[in-house]
Structure 1
Amino acid sequence: MPSPDELPDGLVVADGTARVIVFNRTATRLTGVAGAEAVGRDFRDVLPLFDAEGRDWWKCLDPYAGLAIRTRHPECSLYLAGGAEVLVTAAYRRDPEGRVERFTVCLRDAARRARQERDRADLVSTVAHELRSPLTSVKGFTATLLAKWHRFNDDQKRVMLETVNADADRVTRLITELLDVSRIEAGRLEMRRQVVDLAGETRRAIAGRVAAGEAEDRFRLETRGPLPDMWLDPDKINQILGNLIENAVRHGAGTVTIVVEPDAHRQGAAVSVRDEGEGIPPEAAKRVFRQFWRGHGNRRSGTGLGLYIVKGLVEAHGGTITVQRAPEGGAEFRFTVPAGAPDYP
């Protein structure tokens, strides 16, 4: 069972005399009151709360002298003495006579909740925007072919069907990205580990870009030393490599260099993907792995979810990923993954 300080929400517990017996670390962060100062005091003095009209919530609620049948209070928005908004829920534990034995208050950061809601709204807006273009194309070409099939020659039909097929692939990729984001945020990524030839996977990722029309001499692969047995999810590793290489091709310039080498620090492997473009400004380096980040001059390119997904997939392997300036002046994304067989139950 986790300790109160490990909980993500603020937790305040008062005993039957209204004295604080638990005041966890998150409650301290939200209120600015140290736990040692709170314990033993009347919780109403430690945690003054007010509604939107400025009324003292504890006087309105009267938790110890109110209705004996109350067991909890649903979440509501209240304000601390300093004006910060918090989301508050409360619950009672009563003795057989209905007297309050424990009164528990849970606090959540309203600003954080608002940011999460804005992120969800941004995600919906981004998805709607990204879906509109390919679906409009698919609808337009299929409607045209159905209505005027005999007016087009075979070459014209092929061009339109190839466009429909490419747009369908684009929609599929977007849906895959959304599913990945959902699984990362919910902690539900399933890992199917097996021994993976990391250098071989990198070669296949490069070959895929060449097959898609990139010049073969745009890529350089360097392998440095033998790697230990790498137990990884091959599909997710391919997705990581594909996203990083595509990012270098789309936003960078010059030769894209991929370095695969042992990582002595983590006893695993490290992969660096470098380009020779303008690079990423130092002030933006901390933001590149957030949702909806897009490089300078590419605000309308893609969903901005690719690097966020890459970070989630790397961390699901127990690895880390960083971005810095490459030796040639562009951006260098470097991720490490540990070696060793997975623990099976």
Structure 2
Amino acid sequence: MAGRGRTTSAATRVFLVLLGAVVVVGAVVALVLVFEAQRAVRAEAERVTRAVSETIATTDVVGEALTSPDASTRLQPYAERVMAQAGVDFITIMTPDGIRVTHRDPGEIGKHYLGTIPADAQPLTEEFAGTLGPSVRTITPVEADGKVLGWVSVGVTVGSISSALLPRLPFAIVIALAVVAAGFVGALLAGRITKRVTGDLPAGSVRDAVSSYESVRTLGEALRAQTHEHGNRMHTAVALLELGRTDEAIEILTETSRQSQALVDQVTARRDGDPTVGALLLGKAAQARERGVDWSVAIDPGAPRSALSPVDAVSVVGNLIDNALDAAAAGAEPRWVRVELSRVRDDALAIVVSDSGDGIPPEITDRVWEHGFSTKPADATGRGVGLALVRSIVEGAGGSVEIEASPTAFRIVLPRRPA
């Protein structure tokens, strides 16, 4: 593992990331509350203008006044009184062709109404910019005996709607601050819990520690399997020698040597290889035989050495092989695992680990890279860490990783180690 300078600890990063997320959530909550408050205020304005305009339109005094020659004199005081009582910004009563009889500004009386006059005698609510600026208004017909005598328009300006919104803003702010405060406490607790586990280690060092653990674990399993296999064969050979069956003892020892030598020849033929990965492959061969899985390795002599450190390389290859062995051992016959190391474009190293297992369902293909996700039951070794760690190491080194189907294969491409 390459050395790293002193950087922000993993616990601090967890705290800052969670705090940032909480601030964003708080801001979104505030915006949603403000939007909902604005929508509610506008809906209230539409409801009030419609109710007031329909009430005025059905009032007998309005219908009678519109048919008289002094309609403006009779209706202007009435409109002003209703405006004050209903809390609306304007009430414009007009003739059927839209000539104002009343207006908030008496100087506008006699002029044409600014707004939409419906073609049908039906109420209409709209937002329109009139003499008082943009407003939400409802226009309703005044009818008698099926004849339109005039129109009543009641409106509330957008400025008034905004003023009505202001008293509701403190509530939205308080809620948002409460969310942020609760999230801050949660982020602080998460940071402290992380610090208990990682201390003041930077995030990169934590990942290196996990990688080291995974490397030791997978190498340990490989060496245990190899030791167990050789022990069994040696005990068998000794027993055969004691029985005087020398030829059979020699055959067992020769077969053991031949199987190991075939892989050793491939490893040593690689001009720029990583000896730790070679040792891992030797150990995993014994582990595969122990589990009844056919094992094959194809190493291109020209395959370059990757930019990974020995620990990270063992962690990546070991985790992929462990997953392949688990999948193959749980599948149907024939059970096999194949590992390939080759040279690809741009002088990079390609590592492909394939197996005869049942494969990965398409619906969870993307989830296998998530930390903590696994299709296998949890046990003391921990599940859902290996593939997440593989992806983190590979992408951190500038490589790529992908899953292929039929048969299931994990393909990794890593840049070559600089000279």
Q: If the TM-score is normalised by the length of the shorter chain, which range does it land in?
A: 0.3 to 0.5
* Greater helix content: 2
* Greater strand content: 1
Structure number, greater radius of gyration: 2
Larger RCO (CA within 8 A; separation ≥ 6): 2
